[in-house]
Amino acid sequence: MRLSETFLPTLKDPPADAEAASHKLMVRAGLIRQLGAGLWTWLPAGWRVLRKVETIIREEMEAIGCQEMLMPVLQPAEPWQKTGRYGIEEMFKLEDRKGSPLVLAMTHEESITHHVAQEVRSYRDLPLMLFHIQTKERDEPRPRAGVLRTREFTMKDAYSFDRDEQGLERAYELQSGAYARILDRCGLRWHRVESDVGMMGGSGAHEYMAPCAAGEDAVALAPGFAANVDVTDLREGDPGPEGGTVEIVPAIEVGNIFKLGTRYTEPLGATYLDEHGSEQPIVMGCYGIGPARIVAAAIEQGADERGIVWPRALAPWQIELVSLAKAGEDERKAADELYAVLRESGAEVLYDDRDRGPGEKLTDAELLGCPLRVVVGRRGIAKGVVEATERATGAEHELPLENAAGAALALLQAEDGE
């Protein structure tokens, strides 16, 4: 992409009301813009990042045999009345022109269980694991911190349906493994902690916590040990259960998994006929993860004073190519050629071809935080080189002009191999 043609509005200053580093940086780097309280638009660069997270999630769900589908956000109120959740204050409610009550889904247990109740007849139809990546609407009492707590957001929510507790246990372990791979691939530091079952009901639950300053939750950490502060008596400075000392740190909840049991299948009549022809309630689990929170947590954990430092897998572009010359100058021609070769080789490259000063271009590149910055300038060209800088380490390299594209790609690959 040519930056001169890209909708990537950067800002020198963060929004006045922003406290979280991710909030400030996402706005300044031109990833997101606010439309209303807790309502955010993903601009093109931010949308690229969010889609990368969604792709990783999708791949890991499919790898454990979880099937993707899509359910509506606009839903009849009836299933929510049946499960006793129609009264939840965070739920947006409305009526259609005939006066029928509708809701905007804040999660999808009710709708998926409705379908399973309709379609699943016998033990032969089970087990089932289904997911979708869909918009959720919640009238949060306190939207905050950019995309960390919004009133509309996308969630990957998966649901498992089994004959018995043993089946649920198996599905839960599969999801747990997939969550570990998702968060590792997204480059996060994270902990799986036991949690309260809360409003979801059910028999067991874990949360996935990414430690960082903007976190609203708190986790107790010690070597080989992590717990939600709500479910442990351990306090800062206590001896850790496996040695060391307990430290309490703020963390973002990026995902959670629940053993729901029959909390939703019973009220919604989701049953199956077992081998003996007797009717049994289906045993259910649910597994949620927030792509926007993964993006924000990655920024919180990686950023430095100059801007975002993306994990490789999430970066909107792998390379930001910066031309320091103006259109028509010789050095510009060299940059144009390098851009063409990089594109032909399939590299994800953002090309800063704007007619702006070098200072502004280099500052913007650091703010956006692509893993490798390649600068084509007069001084380098005179020596027959371009300058490459790794965003994460600051390591600088001179790449020979005649094979700059190959050398740049090799640098990225070397980083991958670490």
Size of the site for ligand ATP (CB under 6 A): 16
149 is a site residue for ligand ATP (CB under 6 A): yes
Nearer to ligand ATP, 297 or 407 (CB): 297
Nearer to ligand ATP, 39 or 414 (CB): 39
Residues 22, 111, 113, 150: which binds ligand ATP (CB under 6 A)?
150
Task: Please give the C-alpha separations between residue 327 and each of 164, 330, 385, in angstroms, as whole numbers.
Answer: 68, 9, 20
Nearer to ligand ATP, 270 or 292 (CB): 292
Residues 6+ apart with CB under 8 A from 32: 26, 40, 41, 42, 43, 46, 146, 147
Nearer to ligand ATP, 137 or 352 (CB): 137
E-state strands within 290-394:
319-323, 349-352, 372-376, 385-390
Nearer to ligand ATP, 149 or 185 (CB): 149
Nearer to ligand ATP, 41 or 118 (CB): 41
Q: How many C-beta atoms lie closer than 10 Å to residue 28's C-beta?
A: 21
Q: How far is the CB of 57 from ligand ATP (least distance, A)?
A: 11
Q: How far is the CB of 381 from ligand ATP (least distance, A)?
A: 46
E-state strands within 138-282:
152-162, 191-194, 204-211, 217-222, 225-228, 247-261, 271-273, 279-281
x/- track of binding to ligand ATP for residues 107-146 (CB under 6 A): x------------------------------x-x------
Task: Please give the C-alpha separations between residue 206 and each of 57, 163, 187, 198, 236, in angstroms, as whole numbers.
Answer: 18, 22, 20, 11, 22
Torsion of CA 377, 382, 385, 390, to 10 degrees: -40
Q: How many C-beta atoms lie closer than 10 Å to residue 77's C-beta?
A: 17
155 is a site residue for ligand ATP (CB under 6 A): yes
Q: How far is CA 338 from the centre of its chain?
A: 32
x/- track of binding to ligand ATP for residues 21-60 (CB under 6 A): ----------------------------------------
x/- track of binding to ligand ATP for residues 282-321 (CB under 6 A): ------xxx-xx----------------------------
x/- track of binding to ligand ATP for residues 225-254 (CB under 6 A): ----------------------------xx
160 is a site residue for ligand ATP (CB under 6 A): no
Local structure of residue 121 (DSSP, 8 states): -
The answer to whether residues 320 and 387 touch, using CB atoms and an 8 Å cutoff, is no
Residues 6+ apart with CB under 8 A from 124: none
The answer to whether residues 338 and 321 touch, using CB atoms and an 8 Å cutoff, is yes
What residues line the site for ligand ATP (CB under 6 A)? 107, 138, 140, 149-150, 153, 155, 253-256, 288-290, 292-293
